[in-house]
Amino acid sequence: MGTKGTSPRTLSEAIQYFADPDKCLQYVVERRWPNGVSCPTCGSKDIRFISTRRIWECKRKHTRKQFSVKVGTILEDSPLGLDKWLPAVWMLANRKNGVSSYEIHRALGITQKTAWFMLHRIRLALKSGSGGVEVDKSFIGGKARNMHMSKRSKSITGPGGKDKTAAIGKGPLAPQRASVPQYH
Ligand SMILES: [Zn+2]
């Protein structure tokens, strides 16, 4: 994927950036599958992308052959789109003094209750992550513990951990660590 390093610097840029479903998809794919997309059910990389629906289909024979970028993440059962989740994560990662649900409510045009729920979920994901990793990666990979053991060790410790960090280091959420103030 070619536009690594194209990253929003301000909140309005982030909202505009993540309003594009293809950019959202690319953003999550780069963080979730830095070594290429693989099936969340069987781990196979023998998959095909159905671009009209922005989902993949695994070519192996099992149930749940089709998967979106949200499957297997904490976003899986959320009716909210990536166009809301990603700017919220961006805000959390880029605001040194933390973000309140009221700010997210105002910035994204969602109810304060929904914003509160999102913040809660993002913080839970960060807590259950492996710690010491970037906010966005921790968030997107928040269900790493439920993955295949081989995948799991890979996603938590490497291999190529340094390379991955370097790649993510160019991303918009890169400089921030997972220290999230607990107020709302
Ligand atoms: Zn599969």
Does residue 115 fall inside a structural domain?
Answer: yes
What residues sit around ligand 1, an ion, with C-beta below 5 angstroms?
Answer: 39, 41-42, 44, 58, 60
Does residue 175 fall inside a structural domain?
Answer: no
Token pair, residue 86, equals: 């990603």
Judge contact between 39 and 28, C-beta under 8 A.
no
Short-list 121, 90, 124, 120, CA closest to 107 = 90
Q: How far is the CA of 155 from the centre of ligand 1 (A)?
A: 18
Identify the band that residue 46 occupies on the pLDDT scale cut at 50, 70 and 90: very high
Angle between helical axes of 21-32 and 11-18 (0-180°, round to 10): 100
The runs of H, that is alpha helices, within 2-100 are 11-18, 21-32, 82-94
Does residue 57 fall inside a structural domain?
Answer: no
Q: How far is the CA of 65 from the centre of ligand 1 (A)?
A: 6
Q: How far is the CA of 54 from the centre of ligand 1 (A)?
A: 17
What pLDDT score does 156 carry? Answer: 41
Domain range for residue 84? Answer: 11-34+70-168
Does residue 52 fall inside a structural domain?
Answer: no
Q: How far is the CA of 14 from the centre of ligand 1 (A)?
A: 33
Q: How far is the CA of 31 from the centre of ligand 1 (A)?
A: 20
Does residue 44 fall inside a structural domain?
Answer: no
Q: Please, what is the Cα angle at 32 between 60 and 77, to 5 degrees?
A: 80
Does residue 92 fall inside a structural domain?
Answer: yes
Three-state secondary structure string covering 42-62: CCCCCEEEECCCCEEEECCCC
Judge contact between 172 and 4, C-beta under 8 A.
no
Contacts of 81 (CB under 8 A, 6+ apart): 21, 24
Q: How far is the CA of 164 from the centre of ligand 1 (A)?
A: 24
Q: How far is the CA of 126 from the centre of ligand 1 (A)?
A: 27
The yes-or-no verdict on residue 135 having pLDDT over 80 is: no
Q: How far is the CA of 72 from the centre of ligand 1 (A)?
A: 13
Does residue 122 fall inside a structural domain?
Answer: yes
Q: How far is the CA of 81 from the centre of ligand 1 (A)?
A: 24
Residue-wise pLDDT for 71-103, tens only, equals 888 788 888 999 999 999 889 888 878 899 999
Residue type, 67: F
Judge contact between 41 and 49, C-beta under 8 A.
no
Does residue 160 fall inside a structural domain?
Answer: yes
What pLDDT score does 163 carry? Answer: 34
Number of domains observed in the structure of the chain? 1
